[in-house]
Each structure stands twice: as C-alpha cells, then as structure tokens.
Amino acid sequence: MQEKIQVFLNFLTVEKDYADNTIAAYRNDLTQFLRYLEAQGMDSELGWHKVDKQDIVGYVMDLKEREYTSSTVARKVAAVKSFFHYLMAEGAIKDDPTATLDSPKVKKRLPKAISREDIEVLLAAPAAGTSAKAQRDHALLELLYASGMRVTELVSLDIDDVDLESGAVRVHGKKTLSKERLIRIDEPALDATRTYLNKARFQLMRDPNVRALFLNHRGQRLTRQGLWLIIKHYVDEVGISGDVTPHTLRHSFAAHKLSQGKSLQDIQKLLGHANISTTQVYQQVNQQSDG
C-alpha cells in the first residue's frame, strides 16, 4: 500500500508539477492515513481496494477526536480523496470509497457544552439500572465527565490505571505527545467505578487476562464506536436535544470547571492540551452561554 502512495506522489511531481512542500504534505497525510488503517488491524498487503467508506469515516472521527483544527482535517481528507480518485483513474480499484464522502466544513466552531442540569440527568440514566451493562455505563459516563478525558483515552484505560484508594486515574495522552497525566476524580465517579469493578466487570469478563477497564458484552475492550453508541442511547433516552457526543462531555467538563473558578492553566493540564491557546476557547464557550 505504501508503494501505491509513492507512485501517486511521483505522478504529482512529474505530471502535476506540484511544489516540494505540497508533495511533502501529501506524503505525510497519506502515510498517516495508512498508519491509522494498520492500527485498526488492516493488513497492508491486502491493497487499497479493501478500504471502504467506513474506514475513512473512522479516520475522520479519529482526527477530530485528536483535536486537529478543522482546516487540517479538511486538508487531510482532501489528500485521501485525491489519492482514491487517482487509483480509480488508473484502474487500481473498482469503487471509490470517497465518492459520496462530504468534505469537512472548514469553518471553526466553538466546542459545544451542555448544562450541568442536562449532565445530571444524563449521568442518572444508567444509575437507575442494576444490570452489569448499566453499572458499566454509569461508571464510564461518570468517569468521562469527572475527568474530561478524550474518548480514546477512556477506552484505553486498564484496571491498573485506576487507583481507588487515592481517587486518581492515570491517563495516557496522545501518542504524538507521549505524555501521561494523573487526574483526581470526584466521589460520584469513584463510587460508580468501584461498583463496576467489584460487581459488573466480573460478569462481563470472558478472559481474566484482559486488563481493559471497560469491557463490551463479548468481554473485550470497549471501542470508541461502542462508547459513542452508549452515549447516543442515553441521550435519546433522557431526551437531551442537539448533537451530544462523548466529546461533548469533555467540552462540558472544561466549561463547567472554568465557570467554577478553575484557572486556564489547571484546565489545560487536566485536558492534556499541549498549548494553552487550545484551552482558551472555553472562555468563549462560557461567554456564549452567559450571553
């Protein structure tokens, strides 16, 4: 698959006469896309015809979750689309998986936060249940909101990352930053996590060697897509209007902490932002809410 990328880059160089900087950007973007596919379990020996639209949608979700700017996401998607158009034109693939893929909007939007009242209703929904699934869902929702973690960070947690004694969670940050951070979580999140670990997780467990904190119904690590579906289920159940995603809870965590008097520097550390300019957007979120 890497060879096809190089052939495409040669085409852009020779036939299109693109500048060196443009070629370098295409190389970086397409290589990143290939690495993503490989991380999802795709065998690079299979060829590009095995890539479908869902793979590309998952890649776009991953870029957004990792907080790339909208313009950067749009550029990376444009590179992928150009590459598949080229493969189609050359007869290397029969179907273009990007043919019906909408290009991301470049306009920068403020992160969306929901009210503390809506958060309370959402967190209470799974708490009403007694099944292993309900106890798991209650723990992951409480933990997601109490910590402000990214979706990938939450589903990547292992049992050893949670210290119930000290009330802290060790979060593994973006791979590109290779950073970990320790987050203190509140009592409701601790109680829900403790209940899940002491009761529900054993019911979901199939293999005692699996160290993942949150398990799906097959006893495997819960995926990001699975978490998105859980959030959607409870949002629909309690009737919260608008598009509420797992990342909405991260935004709400930040906006609510800021309104409670936490400093931008403290919130930056909690969220794991490399630059405080990324965190400053939550001041605008609160101003918009106040308005």
Q: Is 282 a catalytic residue?
A: yes
- At residue 167, the 3 state secondary structure works out as coil
Q: Quick one: angle between helices 132-147 and 187-195, nearest 10?
A: 150
3-state helix, strand, coil in the chain (%, to 5): 60, 5, 35
Q: Is 59 a catalytic residue?
A: no
- The catalytic position among 53, 81, 174, 232 is 174
Report how far residue 234's alpha carbon sits from residue 137's, in angstroms, rounded to the nearest whole number. 9
Report how far residue 190's alpha carbon sits from residue 163's, in angstroms, rounded to the nearest whole number. 9
Report how far residue 235's alpha carbon sits from residue 221's, in angstroms, rounded to the nearest whole number. 23
Q: Is 174 a catalytic residue?
A: yes
Report how far residue 167's alpha carbon sits from residue 279's, in angstroms, rounded to the nearest whole number. 25
Q: Is 138 a catalytic residue?
A: no
For 70-75, the CB contacts below 8 A with 24+ separation are: 70/104, 70/105, 70/106, 70/107, 70/108, 70/109, 71/106, 71/108, 73/104, 74/103, 74/104, 74/105, 74/106, 75/25, 75/29
- The catalytic position among 138, 150, 172, 251 is 150
What is the chain's alpha carbon radius of gyration, rounded to the nearest angstrom?
A: 21
Q: Is 250 a catalytic residue?
A: yes
Report how far residue 199's alpha carbon sits from residue 181's, in angstroms, rounded to the nearest whole number. 27
Q: Which residue has the tokens 């970990």?
A: 180
- The catalytic position among 4, 138, 172, 273 is 273
Contact 153, 273 (CB under 8 A): no
Q: Which residues pair with 215 in a beta bridge?
A: 221
- The catalytic position among 4, 136, 138, 247 is 247
Q: Is 247 a catalytic residue?
A: yes
φ, ψ for residue 90 (rounded to 5)? -85, -5
Instruction: Return the active site residues.
Output: 150, 174, 247, 250, 273, 282
